[in-house]
Amino acid sequence: MRKLRTASVLSGKKEWWIKILLPLKPGFYSEKRRACILGSPLVLKLNQKPVLVIGGGSVAERKTACLVKGGAGVTLISPAITKGLESQLDQFCFYNRALTIEDVAQEYCSRLEINWRSFFMVVVATNSPVLNEKLSGALLSYISLINVVDNLELSTFYFPAVVDRGALKLSVTTSGKSPVLAKKIRGCLEDMFGMEYDAYLEELHYIRSELKRIEADPVIRKRMLEERTQFPL
Ligand SMILES: C[C@@]1(CC(=O)O)c2cc3[nH]c(cc4nc(cc5[nH]c(cc(n2)[C@H]1CCC(=O)O)[C@@](C)(CC(=O)O)[C@@H]5CCC(=O)O)C(CC(=O)O)=C4CCC(=O)O)c(CCC(=O)O)c3CC(=O)O
Ligand SMILES: NC(=O)C1=CN([C@@H]2O[C@H](COP(=O)(O)OP(=O)(O)OC[C@H]3O[C@@H](n4cnc5c(N)ncnc54)[C@H](O)[C@@H]3O)[C@@H](O)[C@H]2O)C=CC1
C-alpha cells in the first residue's frame, strides 16, 4: 500500500526515485552511522542567549517567533521583513541591511559593528541557497550552532515541530525527511495534550520535591511516584 502511494506520487520520475532510494537499502548504513546522520534530540535553554537570524521572510519569522518565545535575545539582519516581523520589532534587534560575504569574512564586522563570535547560535534564512551556503560556511568558524533553513547538511541543529504546553513540551522531528509529516503529527498531539498537563506537572513537581525531602530511599521514591503519576489525565 505504502509502496503504491510512493510510486503514484512520483509517477513519471520512476528512475529518479529508484536512484535516490537505492542507497537506503537496509544494511547500507551501520546503526551507529545512521544515528549520527539523524541527530539527537536535546532541550536547549535559550534564555538571554544572543541569537542571530539572517533573512526576514516567512521562514525567518517562524524561527524568530520560536526563539523569542524561548527567551533568546534575537538580532535579525535583513533588507526587508514580513508584516508579522514588522509588528514585533520591539521583540528583537533589527539591522535593516543585506548581509554580504565580505561582512562575515572577519570575526568583527566594522560596517555593522558586530562581532560574530558574540552569538550563541545562528539561523541562516535568506532566499538564496548560494548566499546561505557561503554565509554559513564563514559563520561556522565563529558560531558552532548553525541552522541553514534550506540545507540540513550544512546545519549543526534544526527545528522540530513543537506542542508547547508550558512545562510539557512535545517535539516531533522527521530528521528533515518530511516537515509536513512532523507538522501533521504535531497537530494530532495538540488535540491529545491540553494545557491541563502544565497544571498537573506543577502538582507532580510538588509531590516529587516533598518525597525527596521525606523519603530517602530512591527505589521506594520511584515506586511511589509511578503509583501517583496518572496518565492519561
Ligand atoms: C531540516 C529542517 C531545517 C529547519 O528548518 O530547522 C527543515 C528544512 C526544510 N523545510 C522545508 C519545507 C517546509 N517546511 C515546513 C514546515 C516546517 N519545517 C520545520 C522544520 C524543518 N524544516 C527542519 C526539519 C524538521 C523535520 O523534518 O522534522 C518545522 C517542523 C519546524 C519549524 O520550522 O519551526 C515546520 C513545521 C512546524 C509546525 O507547523 O509544527 C513546510 C510546511 C509548511 O510551511 O507549512 C514546508 C513545505 C513543504 C516541504 O517542502 O516539505 C524545506 C524545503 C524548502 C524548499 O523546497 O524551498 C527545507 C529544506 C530541505 O528540505 O532541504
Ligand atoms: N526550513 C524550513 O522550515 C523551510 C525552509 N524554506 C527555505 O527557506 C528559504 C527562505 O524562505 P522564505 O522565508 O519563505 O523566503 P522569502 O523570500 O520570503 O524571504 C527571504 C528573506 O531573505 C532576505 N534576504 C535576501 N538577501 C539577504 C541578505 N543578503 N541578507 C539578509 N537577508 C536577505 C529577504 O529580504 C527576505 O526577507 C527558502 O530558500 C526556502 O528554500 C522554505 C520553507 C520552510
User: pLDDT value at position 53?
Assistant: 99
Same domain (yes/no): 68, 148: yes
Helix residue spans in 39-111 (DSSP H): 58-69, 83-86
Helix axes of 196-214 and 218-228: crossing angle, nearest 10 degrees: 150
Q: Which of 11-20, 85-94, 136-145, 167-176 has the lowest mean pLDDT?
A: 11-20
Give a yes or no: residue 21 inside a domain: no
How far does residue 228's CA lie from ligand 2's centre (Å)?
48
Give the pLDDT band (50/70/90) at residue 30.
Answer: confident
User: pLDDT value at position 4?
Assistant: 46
Give a yes or no: residue 182 inside a domain: no
C-alpha 120, offset from chain centre? 14
The residues, any chain, with a CB within 8 Å of residue 93's CB and separated by 6 or more, are: 73, 74, 75, 76
Percent of the chain clearing pLDDT 70 (strictly above) = 86
Same domain (yes/no): 58, 117: yes
Question: Which of 152, 171, 185 for mutating ligand 1's site (highest number of atoms within 8 Å of CB)?
Answer: 152
Cβ(139)–Cβ(146) below 8 Å: yes
Give a yes or no: residue 5 inside a domain: no
User: pLDDT value at position 13?
Assistant: 55
User: pLDDT value at position 16?
Assistant: 52
Question: Which of 78, 86, 186 for mutating ligand 2's site (highest number of atoms within 8 Å of CB)?
Answer: 78
How far does residue 96's CA lie from ligand 1's centre (Å)?
25
Q: Which range of residues forms the domain containing residue 219?
A: 196-228
End-to-end Cα spacing for the chain: 35
Residue 76 pLDDT exceeds 70: yes
User: pLDDT value at position 35?
Assistant: 67
Complex ipTM over 0.85: yes
Same domain (yes/no): 60, 134: yes
Task: Tell the burial category of 132 from Cβ atoms under 10 Å away from its Cβ (0-12, 13-18, 19+).
Answer: buried
**CA angle (147, 151, 157) in 5-degree steps:** 30
Please report where in the chains the cell 495538540 appears, as a residue: 190
Give a yes or no: residue 24 inside a domain: no
194 dihedral zone (left: phi>0; alpha: psi -120 to 50; beta): beta
Residue 27 pLDDT exceeds 80: no
As beta bridge partners, residue 25 has: none
- Distance of alpha carbon 233 from alpha carbon 196, whole angstroms: 8
- Residue 111: which CATH number? 3.40.50.720
How many domains does the chain fold into?
Answer: 2
Q: Considering only CA atoms, which residue is closest to atom 18 of ligand 1?
A: 179
How far does residue 179's CA lie from ligand 1's centre (Å)?
4
Cβ(162)–Cβ(170) below 8 Å: yes
Percent of the chain clearing pLDDT 90 (strictly above) = 83
0.80 exceeded by pTM: yes
- Distance of alpha carbon 135 from alpha carbon 129, whole angstroms: 10
How far does residue 175's CA lie from ligand 1's centre (Å)?
10
How far does residue 59's CA lie from ligand 2's centre (Å)?
6
Residue 1 pLDDT exceeds 70: no
User: pLDDT value at position 34?
Assistant: 72
Considering 159, 175, 206, which residue would you say is the last residue of a domain?
Answer: 159
Residue 208 pLDDT exceeds 80: yes
Give a yes or no: residue 9 inside a domain: no
Residue 69 backbone dihedrals phi, psi, to 5 degrees: -60, -35
Same domain (yes/no): 61, 153: yes
Same domain (yes/no): 154, 216: no
Q: Which residues have C-beta atoms less than 6 Å from ligand 2?
A: 54-60, 77-81, 98-99, 125-128, 131, 149-150, 179
